[in-house]
Structure 1
């Protein structure tokens, strides 16, 4: 019985390590796009404005994730990324927009 438990523990450990290595080896595709942090003065206009500008500058926005103090981070892909962020900065509804420093350091 003791030998059986040791074998089970060894297999469990190996499976745990393999699962961890697999998770580390294949990052989600969404993480490949640089993240843009944006904060709106009126959050109710966020989705509409982002969709309009993304279409105009031909960028693809990933799913947004809310951060602290009302800001959001979005993965942004496409050649018009910099023009897209510049347009956000010129929009009165936007308090600030910048590239995520953590994404830039990767």
Structure 2
């Protein structure tokens, strides 16, 4: 709802594997088989089923390197505000770490900088 209200173009994934698959498809083929496009931002929840956000971030970073793609900004949104989780997220390649609850004004400001 936030993304729609701010009139950002976005895609939604229910889990980390789906996020990775959509990222790859969007970068190589574009959504729905259209022309390829870059994701300026990826909002990644750390706690997701199938593949968590940290693993999905590692795979996205590897995919970007392998395909010589510009690095997307990955913003981790998480209820896990521990120092260990933050270190894991940083090591995986997360650019910005936002513990929940996230202030929408802060998030909008981050997304509007691009």
- Which of the five TM-score ranges fits, normalised by the shorter chain? under 0.3
Higher strand share: 1
**Bigger radius of gyration:** 1
Larger relative CO (CA 8 A, sep 6+): 1 or 2? 1
Give the structure with the higher percent helix.
1
Give the TM-score, by structure 1 length. Answer: 0.27
